Amino acid sequence: MLLNYTIHYDIAAVILLSILGVLYFSKRNIPSYGSKIFTCLIVITGVSAVCECVLNVEFQFLPVSSLIITLTGILYFCISNFLPFAAAAYCFVLSDSEPLGLKSKRRIALLILLSLLPYAAGMFWGVWNAVSPGKQRIDYSAAVTVYLLFVSLLYLTAGAVFLVKKYRRLPVHYFGTAFFFIVVVAAGAVVRLFFPFLLISNFCAAVSMYFLYMYIHKPDNFIDSLTGLFNTTAFASLIDEKFVRKDPFYVIGFVLEDLNFLNNTFGIRSIDELLKIIAVFFTETAERFKKTACSDVYTIATDEFCIVVKTQDMTVVQSMVDCIREKFESVWDFQNTTVTLFSRICVIRCPSDAESAADILDLLTAVGEQQYYRAGRVLFADSLDTTRNRLSRQLDRTIKTSIQNDLISVWYQPIYSISKRRVIGAEALIRMKDENGNFISPEDFIPIAEKNGTILRIGEFVLERVCSMLSDLNLGWYGIEKIDINLSMIQCMQKTLAEQIISITDIYRVPRRILDFEITETAAAYLPKMLQENMERLNSAGAECSLDDYGSGYSNMNYLIELPFNMIKIDKGIVWSADKKLRSRTALAHTITMIKSLGMQVLAEGVETKEQMQWLASLDCDYLQGYYFSKSLPQKDFLAFLAREMQRNGTAEVLPLAGELGDANAGELGDTIEDLEELEEAEPVGEL
């Protein structure tokens, strides 16, 4: 009996799934719920594709009423229609860290019952074994087909809803890949409905599962390449599942000491071999106690390991710790030599001592960072201080979502020109609030933003906000001649920095002569070549560059000479020291003279009093900045400040020089600032 079904896609699906199975099962996989359901998806799709191929062959040689065809058909229908349910379960496990509630369980049970109805009907009425008279093919009821497709789409829609509702908990590539999987499986089912002879649904599922493998379930993503143990990613995934199930367990953490010293002494390759030996020892120890407690071993960092012990019996944990301490108190043999290793040991009882994998990692970090935790001594989690690590992690999450959650803004601290005797611009400063509206000091969030990479987006945000403001203003009416913008060291490392700045200023049609980009001494010292190329391109485009906080670190004459700076900003610490010490003032005077002789302008930061303004003007500074003129202000208040000063004093002269400042006028600018006193008191200390 010749049938017209196209099985080429099923054959391709079988081949693709065979390759996927070899890749996936040939390596160690983490025993997570997501991995287990992914394994089910591979098996279900593979069996479904094989059944379709077998049925097509059986139809060639056996009568339609054959028992073999009937049994194969039942297996096929059961397996193939279980795929959408497994896909929905996969999305739920991937996207939700909370256990199912009673309401959700009832809904899932209802969907399962709905999908079983056609099978019950088939047993009693044979609705899916009818042969169309006069046709050389087998049909199952169109009503049943539509019904099963409807139920399948319900499952897949439920999976998509799980993903969308919880997308914030997922990495972008996890969400994108899983959503792609759901869409492709659904598309395959719909195509099968309209083109029943085109057996493409299993092929669609196989292709989408290959992407799941590559981006989510590739075993190499969860295995440490050096030790062969599960890595931090696997640890976070498996441990958080344990917390969801509320399983009691212990974590024994080990932090090796003096690893850098050993690397320098024996070489990195030799220490790599030693770390492999240590990993084998931990694995063998876990195996030795397998009868009393099942354990998994993880590599958390190069010098950090941990054993997760699935038991409530503290005596088992203590025996394991004693066994490991005994080994560390002896010598380790490797490469025809011996070495003594010291390890800090920490015992964490879960869930009483920690509520997530991140809490456990914080505890292990605290053990490694605090010098007063002695090697060899067994520490217990309740004796550790993890406050700083927890706050740092919370701040990291806040920074990563700061722009889309409107938590950051640009403030402006006025800059006063001595020659023009008025405020002629400002330094743009980044300000950030937490979710509760409290300011976060730049000294706290800038290092974290540089570490997690968001500083690049924040720097771009600041430039765009400044350019947006300038493009909307009558600069002459406000008297704005320059706006200083800080560049972080990470920004200075980008080869495309100058091109990006030029592109943004072109979009907003801002004259680049107004912009002055401030560069730290650290960037100037460590990135001279790349920095010089970017600075030269910016200078050619009309922008200026300044060296920020000169004198705050190890000041080097070389980059003053070699790099094309237009202005040097004297650090406020130098100004304050010169205000109190004659020697410091003499040194500052000579520094300013030297800078001026090199053809660069000078700005002094930290000006807080009338007297400081007077003697800095006498030292031939070009610009002054500090609380004497104003603290940093939000854009609206900064523009109002400029407008009031220009209105009251005219556009030519805003502030008299120090020698011309009488007692009656000395508080004029201060009175203006007092109008903003309440706002300024809320301002955090620190600058970007």
Whether 327 and 341 have beta carbons less than 8 Å apart is answered as no
- The rounded distance, in Å, linking the Cα atoms of 221 and 235 is 12
Write the pLDDT tens digit of every residue in 330-339. 888 877 788 8
Whole-angstrom CA distances from 211 to 25, 187, 207 are 16, 16, 7
Specify whether the backbone of 70 is left (phi greater than 0), alpha (psi in -120 to 50) or beta: alpha
- pLDDT for the residue 252: 93
Residue 1 located in a structural domain:
no
Clarify whether residues 436 and 559 are in a common domain. Answer: yes
Count of other CB atoms within 10 angstroms of residue 222: 23
Residue that wins the pLDDT comparison between 662 and 525: 525
Residue 652 located in a structural domain:
no
Write the pLDDT tens digit of every residue in 546-596. 998 887 765 667 778 888 999 999 999 999 998 889 998 999 999 999 999
3 state SS of 641: helix
Through-space distance between the first and last CA atoms of the chain, rounded to whole angstroms: 79
With bands split at pLDDT 50, 70 and 90, how would you rate the model's confidence at 258? confident
- pLDDT for the residue 126: 46
Residue that wins the pLDDT comparison between 668 and 588: 588
Clarify whether residues 179 and 243 are in a common domain. Answer: no
Q: Which two tokens stand for residue 549?
A: 């906080």
Nearby residues of 477 by Cβ (< 8 Å), 6 or more positions away? 646, 651
Q: Which position has the token pair 């190890």?
A: 554
Report the half-sphere exposure of 670 (CA within 13 A, side-chain side): 9
Residue 398 located in a structural domain:
no
With bands split at pLDDT 50, 70 and 90, how would you rate the model's confidence at 625? very high
Clarify whether residues 178 and 274 are in a common domain. Answer: no
Is the pLDDT reported for residue 667 higher than 80? no
Clarify whether residues 74 and 113 are in a common domain. Answer: yes
Count of other CB atoms within 10 angstroms of residue 520: 19
CATH number at residue 312: 3.30.70.270
- The rounded distance, in Å, linking the Cα atoms of 665 and 537 is 44
- pLDDT for the residue 229: 93
Q: Which two tokens stand for residue 603?
A: 């700005």
Listed residues 624, 643, 662: the one ending a domain: 643
Own/partner contacts of 584-588, CB < 8 Å, gap of 24 or more, are 585/615, 588/619
Clarify whether residues 495 and 525 are in a common domain. Answer: yes
What's the one-letter identity of residue 323? C
Clarify whether residues 241 and 210 are in a common domain. Answer: no
- pLDDT for the residue 103: 64
Listed residues 384, 418, 452: the one ending a domain: 384
With bands split at pLDDT 50, 70 and 90, how would you rate the model's confidence at 144? low
Per-residue pLDDT, averaged over 284-305, amounts to 87
Round the average pLDDT of the chain to a whole number and report it: 81
- Tell me which H or E stretch contains 294: strand 294-301
CATH number at residue 164: 1.20.1070.10
Residue 619 located in a structural domain:
yes
* Of 124-128, 196-200, 413-417, 613-617, minimum mean pLDDT range: 124-128
Q: Which position has the token pair 């009996």?
A: 1
Is the pLDDT reported for residue 3 higher than 60? no
Is the pLDDT reported for residue 296 higher than 80? yes
Clarify whether residues 80 and 147 are in a common domain. Answer: yes
- The rounded distance, in Å, linking the Cα atoms of 28 and 216 is 15
Question: By CB neighbour count within 10 A (0-12 exposed, 13-18 middle, 19+ buried), where does 527 fall?
Answer: middle
Question: By CB neighbour count within 10 A (0-12 exposed, 13-18 middle, 19+ buried), where does 516 fall?
Answer: buried
Nearby residues of 213 by Cβ (< 8 Å), 6 or more positions away? 20, 23, 24, 38
- The rounded distance, in Å, linking the Cα atoms of 657 and 607 is 14
Listed residues 219, 241, 272: the one ending a domain: 219
Residue that wins the pLDDT comparison between 116 and 525: 525
Clarify whether residues 74 and 200 are in a common domain. Answer: yes
For 371, the domain range is 232-384
Q: Which percentage of the chain shows pLDDT scores above 90?
A: 35
- The rounded distance, in Å, linking the Cα atoms of 175 and 159 is 12
Clarify whether residues 301 and 433 are in a common domain. Answer: no
3 state SS of 538: helix
Clarify whether residues 558 and 614 are in a common domain. Answer: yes
- pLDDT for the residue 427: 96
Residue 65 located in a structural domain:
yes
Residue 330 located in a structural domain:
yes
Number of domains making up the chain: 3
- pLDDT for the residue 114: 64
Residue 46 located in a structural domain:
yes
Q: Which position has the token pair 């933003």?
A: 449
Q: Which of 186, 182, 212 is nearest to 201 (CA)?
A: 186
With bands split at pLDDT 50, 70 and 90, how would you rate the model's confidence at 607? very high
Q: Pairing between strand 623-624 and 601-604? A: parallel
Is the pLDDT reported for residue 507 higher than 90? yes
pTM exceeding 0.85: no
Whether 79 and 47 have beta carbons less than 8 Å apart is answered as yes
Clarify whether residues 16 and 162 are in a common domain. Answer: yes
Distance of CA 556 to the CA centre of its chain: 35
Whether 525 and 486 have beta carbons less than 8 Å apart is answered as no
- pLDDT for the residue 505: 93
Is the pLDDT reported for residue 97 higher than 80? no
- The rounded distance, in Å, linking the Cα atoms of 152 and 82 is 9
With bands split at pLDDT 50, 70 and 90, how would you rate the model's confidence at 671? very low
- The rounded distance, in Å, linking the Cα atoms of 177 and 156 is 14
Is the pLDDT reported for residue 31 higher than 60? yes
Q: Which of 363, 361, 367, 366 is nearest to 345 (CA)?
A: 367
Whether 249 and 308 have beta carbons less than 8 Å apart is answered as yes
With bands split at pLDDT 50, 70 and 90, how would you rate the model's confidence at 128? very low
Per-residue pLDDT, averaged over 502-506, amounts to 93
CA dihedral 653, 658, 660, 666 (to 10 degrees): 80
Query: If you write DSSP's letter for every residue of 187-247 in order, what string do you get?
Result: HHHHHHHH-TTB--HHHHHHHHHHHHIIIII-GGGTB-TTT-SB-HHHHHHHHHHHHHHT-
- The rounded distance, in Å, linking the Cα atoms of 616 and 195 is 84
Alpha-carbon torsion (629, 631, 634, 635), positive or negative: positive
* Of 51-55, 179-183, 482-486, 682-686, minimum mean pLDDT range: 682-686
CATH number at residue 573: 3.20.20.450
Whether 568 and 556 have beta carbons less than 8 Å apart is answered as no
Clarify whether residues 128 and 49 are in a common domain. Answer: yes
Query: If you write DSSP's letter for every residue of 240-290 in order, what string do you get?
Result: HHHHHHT--EEEEEEEESSHHHHHHHH-HHHHHHHHHHHHHHHHHHHHHTT
Whether 649 and 671 have beta carbons less than 8 Å apart is answered as no
Residue 664 located in a structural domain:
no
